[in-house]
């Protein structure tokens, strides 16, 4: 597949704003939607609309098959051993909340949780809520100046009370790929579980949960081209089997009586109520597309674009790039910058008028912004359908916007 073929699958890449071609560089917030995903959603809505797992009629069986075959496709995509290890959620946020609410029931006063300093609020706040209710202690794993996790400090943070360590595979602000396997090994040697937030990792990094050896892995469909309102919590089978239910309701039970209710086996124990019938199956064409992109020379092109952006942003006068790891391999095409004397939001507003969609502000990572000593940043996040011309246009436009504001 070449870049033109890829772009033709994403009609918004040919879109215009204010009469100018849209340059969409806000992919870390949500990716654009490709036609095969929209078509699958349409097919599920117009042809196979029926509730899941319940009725015996043709359409219900067809919809259920679509849903369950998606579970198999996701399991195979992320290297899970069993499809039952895949729990469908509405996104990363719900995945982490599910885990905190269920696993957290076994945490008692004085137990400890380690969270990296570079986490999105959705991998902080659910644990803080648990901390308050169960009187826990949260410890923070710091980052260095390049935005890399201080793994050297991890052993000193771990104790015999550390129940879980929570890190992102890739930070949504720094774009740095974290050495998850090393973190898993250190945690496991201490008897501590590891949750990896894969929201930014899954679209960019080949992910194998067994190779990473993480205990839990969370991600969102909408950041990897699938429908919004879809997501996954992966958990090792023996761990999920020992978790209590999350929400109560239809389909998550085995039997209900006034005296005693028993619960369905995993994963349905965690999927109460009517699920995202049309959305979940869109993960299948999204996965197929990611695989196709990885099998084509788009990977080399994306990496060329990343290297050019990295070099340009790191050497641009007056620009500070946050997340510039020692090894460029450990960086995705995501660039968060501060520009001397210019407010990030003013920049984003001017870039918008030039047709460029970026993100500005705290990016749901306020503690990280505090530790970087900034009130917010400007972020340009690329996807494989972005072109080198778009990258150059971004840089030229940034320079113009800075001149206008100074």
Ligand X SMILES: Cc1ncc(COP(=O)(O)O)c(C=O)c1O
As annotated, the active-site residues are 364
Q: Which is nearer to ligand X, 123 or 192 (CB)?
A: 123
Q: What is the rounded end-to-end Cα distance, in angstroms, of the chain?
A: 43
Question: Residue 330 phi/psi, 5° resolution?
Answer: -90, 40
Count residues binding ligand X (CB under 6 A): 14
- Write down the least CB distance from residue 80 to ligand X, Å: 20
Taking residues 326 to 345 in sequence order and writing x for each that binds ligand X by CB under 6 A, - otherwise, the string is --------------------
Q: Are 84 and 240 in contact (CB under 8 A)?
A: yes
Geometric angle at alpha carbon 308, from 302 and 310, rounded to 5°: 100
Paired tokens of 384? 């494989």
Q: Which is nearer to ligand X, 220 or 278 (CB)?
A: 220
Please state, in angstroms and rounded to a whole number, the distance separating the CA atoms of residues 93 and 197. Answer: 9
Please state, in angstroms and rounded to a whole number, the distance separating the CA atoms of residues 395 and 353. Answer: 15
Query: What residues numbered 158-197 form the site for ligand X, per CB under 6 A?
Result: 168, 172, 197
93 is a contact residue toward ligand X (CB under 6 A): yes
* Cis peptide bond upstream of 267, omega within 30: yes
CA distances from 346 to 185, 190, 360, 405 (A): 44, 47, 9, 8
- Write down the least CB distance from residue 164 to ligand X, Å: 16
Q: Are 333 and 204 in contact (CB under 8 A)?
A: yes
220 is a contact residue toward ligand X (CB under 6 A): yes
122 is a contact residue toward ligand X (CB under 6 A): yes
- Write down the least CB distance from residue 172 to ligand X, Å: 3
Q: Which is nearer to ligand X, 92 or 207 (CB)?
A: 92
Q: Which of 33, 40, 71, 120 binds ligand X (CB under 6 A)?
A: 120
200 is a contact residue toward ligand X (CB under 6 A): yes
102 is a contact residue toward ligand X (CB under 6 A): no
Please state, in angstroms and rounded to a whole number, the distance separating the CA atoms of residues 133 and 188. Answer: 26
Query: What residues numbered 352-381 form the site for ligand X, per CB under 6 A?
Result: 364
Question: Residue 231 phi/psi, 5° resolution?
Answer: -170, 175
Q: Which is nearer to ligand X, 224 or 319 (CB)?
A: 224
Please state, in angstroms and rounded to a whole number, the distance separating the CA atoms of residues 350 and 108. Answer: 50
Paired tokens of 197? 């937030």
Q: Which stretch binds ligand X (CB under 6 A): 16-24, 72-80, 115-123, 315-323?
A: 115-123
- DSSP 8-class letter at 248: -
26 is a contact residue toward ligand X (CB under 6 A): no
Q: Which stretch binds ligand X (CB under 6 A): 119-127, 235-243, 320-328, 343-351?
A: 119-127
325 is a contact residue toward ligand X (CB under 6 A): no
Q: Are 136 and 164 in contact (CB under 8 A)?
A: no
- Write down the least CB distance from residue 334 to ligand X, Å: 10
Q: Which is nearer to ligand X, 173 or 402 (CB)?
A: 173
Please state, in angstroms and rounded to a whole number, the distance separating the CA atoms of residues 183 and 165. Answer: 9
Q: Are 60 and 274 in contact (CB under 8 A)?
A: no
Q: How far is CA 243 from the centre of its chain?
A: 23
Q: Which is nearer to ligand X, 197 or 215 (CB)?
A: 197
> Which of 170, 221, 163 has its CA nearest to residue 196?
170
- Write down the least CB distance from residue 122 to ligand X, Å: 4
Q: Which stretch binds ligand X (CB under 6 A): 90-98, 131-139, 159-167, 344-352?
A: 90-98
- Write down the least CB distance from residue 196 to ligand X, Å: 10
Paired tokens of 43? 């097919």
Paired tokens of 114? 């380690």
275 is a contact residue toward ligand X (CB under 6 A): no
- Write down the least CB distance from residue 32 to ligand X, Å: 15
91 is a contact residue toward ligand X (CB under 6 A): yes
Q: Which stretch binds ligand X (CB under 6 A): 87-95, 187-195, 284-292, 342-350?
A: 87-95
- Write down the least CB distance from residue 220 to ligand X, Å: 3
Helix 344-353 to helix 388-405 angle (10° resolution) is 120
Which residues of this chain interact with ligand X, rule CB under 6 A? 28, 91-93, 120, 122-123, 168, 172, 197, 199-200, 220, 364
């Amino acid at each position: 597949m070449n870049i033109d073929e890829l772009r033709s699958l994403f009609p918004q890449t040919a879109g215009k704003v204010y009469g100018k071609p849209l340059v969409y560089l806000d992919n870390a917030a949500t990716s654009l939607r490709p036609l095969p995903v929209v078509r699958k959603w349409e097919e599920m809505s117009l042809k196979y609309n029926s509730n899941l797992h319940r009725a015996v009629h043709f359409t219900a069986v067809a919809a259920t098959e679509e849903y369950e075959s998606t579970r198999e496709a996701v399991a195979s995509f992320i290297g899970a051993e069993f499809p039952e290890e895949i729990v469908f959620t509405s996104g990363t946020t719900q995945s982490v909340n599910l885990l905190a609410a269920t696993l957290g029931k076994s945490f008692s006063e004085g137990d400890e949780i380690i969270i990296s300093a570079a986490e999105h609020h959705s991998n902080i706040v659910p644990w803080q809520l648990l901390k308050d209710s169960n009187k826990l202690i949260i410890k923070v794993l710091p980052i260095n100046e390049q935005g890399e996790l201080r793994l050297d400090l991890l052993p000193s943070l771990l104790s015999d009370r550390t129940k879980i360590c929570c890190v992102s595979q890739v930070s949504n602000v720094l774009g740095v790929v974290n050495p998850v396997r090393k973190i898993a090994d250190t945690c496991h040697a201490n008897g501590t579980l590891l949750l990896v937030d894969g929201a930014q990792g899954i679209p960019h990094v080949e992910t194998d949960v067994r190779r990473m050896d993480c205990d839990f892995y969370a991600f969102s469909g909408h950041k990897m081209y699938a429908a919004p309102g879809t997501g996954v919590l992966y958990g090792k089978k023996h761990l999920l089997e020992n978790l209590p239910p999350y929400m109560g309701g239809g389909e998550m039970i085995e039997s209900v009586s006034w005296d005693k209710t028993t619960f369905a086996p995993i994963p349905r124990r965690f999927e109460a109520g009517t699920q995202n019938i049309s959305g979940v199956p869109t993960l299948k064409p999204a996965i197929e597309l990611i695989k196709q992109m990885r099998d084509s020379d788009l990977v080399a092109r994306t990496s060329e674009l990343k290297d050019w952006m990295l070099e340009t942003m790191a050497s641009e006068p007056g620009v500070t790039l946050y997340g510039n790891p020692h090894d460029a391999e450990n960086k995705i095409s995501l660039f968060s910058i501060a520009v001397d004397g210019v407010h990030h939001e003013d920049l984003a507003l001017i870039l918008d008028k030039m047709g460029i969609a970026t993100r500005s502000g705290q990016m749901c990572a306020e503690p990280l912004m505090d530790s970087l000593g900034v009130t917010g940043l400007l972020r340009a996040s690329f996807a494989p359908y972005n072109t080198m011309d778009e990258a150059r246009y971004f840089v030229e436009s940034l320079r113009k916007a800075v001149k206008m504001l100074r």
